Amino acid sequence: MVASWRESMRWQHTWVGLVLGALLFAIFWMGSLSVFDKEIDRWMMPATRLEPPESLSLAPALASARKVAPDASRWRLMLPTSRSPQMRLYYPDAGGDLQFVDLEPGTGRPLPPQGTLAGSEFIFPFHFSLHLKAGQLGYWLVGLAGMAMLSLLVSGLVVHRKPIQDLFTFRAHKRLGRANLDLHNLTGVVGLPFHFIMTLSGLVIFVNIYFPDAATLAYDDAADPQGRFIEEGLGRFSRPPAGEPGTLAPLEPMLERARAAWSGEGPAFVRVWHPGDAASYVEMRRSNQNMVRINRDQLYFDGGTGEVLFRFEAMPLMKTQRFISGLHFIQFDHWPLRWLYFGGGLSGCVMIVTGFIFWLQARRKRHAGQGAFRLVEGLTVGSVTGIILATLAFFVANRLLPLEARFAGYERAALEVWVFFLVWLGAFVHGWLQRSDAWRGQCWAIAMLAVAAVALNAVTTGDHLLKTLAEGYWPVAGMDLMLLAGAAVAVWSARRLTQHRAVRLREVEFG
């Protein structure tokens, strides 16, 4: 048994941090990148580097939908925004799986498929689901990590003893152990508001998954509590197809009515249910660009007459939940906040890696030879520099694989994901073999891959940095600049690690 409350908190902080640190780093890293998911999309999908359209016309896009997915039971058209200039058509294929194709916003013509999941379909879902779909395992692991993170923030404050007195203290010039712990405390305590709000709101987003019986408890007298919850909480309208052909009324008047209903704001997407059927209907969901809340405002129109069938706006409790979610999702247009979130997320990454290093430093002398210590050493390298390396390999693969690439039955998009996971796995193996020397090697590899990604973007798309900077095309220029900045940090770290190693070797020789 542990002696005191503070000791028990220290024990909790040490071991929960160790067990879930790798997972938390992956979530923080992918979350930090996710605030720029659309910009990563532009970088990885050169065909979508378009000017946002000046006016919106839906008819050409609908004509494309009829060609691409004539038999689909619904089409969802994501409308262009300042960050995503293309139109994206989602539709279920014959097997019921959701497919998408990007359309040129003006002409509605399908853009050449880019064969990538990019930021919004790989990096962003990785952040909250780890791409482990079976039994929603990924969601639950992330939820567990989120709860653990909240408890780590609390126990960290207790263990710290003097969080206020040491608030601004960073003794970078002292020995590594001191500087590392200062950095852990600094990123933890100064960044606490961000870490706490993000972790809590992240859990609130998936309340339906983490608290699956909530609907049953709230609507225990209803025949179908889950359905009733969706109806009242999230809004839903549906009607079966008539089985007879019908024509779709023009969508422009419906758009006008939606804008009028939503104080001038347009929809984020338009969904046509049962296209081509006499009972078809059109759903519009209000855009989130100008509000924090991920709203549930919906309008449904009759496909034949264009009359409003149903209007929904969430009730106060759901609006609150949606506000908290929106704070996390940052889908609204606010560039200063977007950059601040990015910085906050990276400070969380620093907090986690310094925590790992503290654990290792405290035990290096006594346990260096033991298997468990070596296991953690490799785990740390693989989960920190390894995932960064894997992400960069994902970018590089995106620029190297030809558009029609296929291998062993896998589509191009899946190949990129394979590259990611294989490089990540390789980084773990490298970490276990090379131990603490692996940091240096992986830092050099990160620098080289980051520079290679910038160079490959210039060669394969012609949008080199000078051009994008001159044109002020920030999605690609910003991504390239961040890659170069990352490379610079990696080189600096690798050189510091080399010096550190030289000192250590001298100590061994002359010690």
Partner 1 sequence: MVDGLLLLAVFACAYTGMAWLALSQERHWRAVRGGTPGRARIRRLRLGGALWLLLSLVWALLRDAAHFGVPLWVMALVAGGFAVALALTWKPRCIEVVTALRH
Tokens 């940052």: give the residue: 330
Shortest separation between residue 189's beta carbon and partner 1, angstroms: 8
Nearer to partner 1, 46 or 191 (CB): 191
Shortest separation between residue 334's beta carbon and partner 1, angstroms: 6
Nearer to partner 1, 318 or 340 (CB): 340
Q: Are strands 298-302 and 281-286 parallel, antiparallel or unpaired?
A: antiparallel
Tokens 């009972």: give the residue: 279
Nearer to partner 1, 289 or 434 (CB): 289
Shortest separation between residue 16's beta carbon and partner 1, angstroms: 24
- 70 class by beta-carbon count within 10 Å (0-12 exposed, 13-18 middle, 19+ buried): exposed
Whether 94 contacts 100, CB under 8 Å: no
Give dist(CA 158, CA 147) in Å, integer.
Answer: 17
Question: Around Cβ 495, how many Cβ atoms within 10 Å?
Answer: 13
Nearer to partner 1, 160 or 399 (CB): 160
Q: Which two tokens stand for residue 148?
A: 């653990």
Whether 267 contacts 77, CB under 8 Å: no
Give dist(CA 210, CA 207) in Å, integer.
Answer: 5
Shortest separation between residue 288's beta carbon and partner 1, angstroms: 12
Shortest separation between residue 169's beta carbon and partner 1, angstroms: 7
Give dist(CA 324, CA 5) in Å, integer.
Answer: 33
Nearer to partner 1, 85 or 348 (CB): 348
Nearer to partner 1, 330 or 448 (CB): 330
Nearer to partner 1, 354 or 391 (CB): 354
Shortest separation between residue 348's beta carbon and partner 1, angstroms: 11
- The contact set with partner 1 (CB under 8 A) reads 165, 167-173, 186, 190-191, 193-194, 197, 291-292, 327, 332, 334, 336-337, 340-341, 343-344, 347
Nearer to partner 1, 5 or 168 (CB): 168
Shortest separation between residue 346's beta carbon and partner 1, angstroms: 11
Shortest separation between residue 31's beta carbon and partner 1, angstroms: 15
**Helix, strand or coil for residue 52?**
coil
Could you tell me which of 204, 199, 306 has the C-alpha nearest to residue 255? 306
Nearer to partner 1, 326 or 431 (CB): 326
**Helix, strand or coil for residue 299?**
strand
Nearer to partner 1, 127 or 195 (CB): 195
Give dist(CA 123, CA 36) in Å, integer.
Answer: 10
Shortest separation between residue 331's beta carbon and partner 1, angstroms: 13
Could you tell me which of 421, 424, 425, 416 has the C-alpha nearest to residue 396? 416
Nearer to partner 1, 332 or 474 (CB): 332
Shortest separation between residue 324's beta carbon and partner 1, angstroms: 11
Give dist(CA 447, CA 338) in Å, integer.
Answer: 25
From residue 360, how far is each of 246, 248, 353 by CA, in Å? 68, 65, 11
Q: Would the CA dihedral through 136, 77, 31, 320 be positive or negative?
A: negative
Shortest separation between residue 222's beta carbon and partner 1, angstroms: 34
Nearer to partner 1, 291 or 484 (CB): 291
Amino acid at residue number 385: T
**Helix, strand or coil for residue 4?**
coil
Shortest separation between residue 178's beta carbon and partner 1, angstroms: 12
Q: Report the helix count and the strand count for the chain, using DSSP H and E.
A: 18, 7
Give dist(CA 315, CA 293) in Å, integer.
Answer: 13
Residues paired with 118 in a beta bridge: none
Residues paired with 269 in a beta bridge: 78, 285
Give dist(CA 132, CA 137) in Å, integer.
Answer: 6
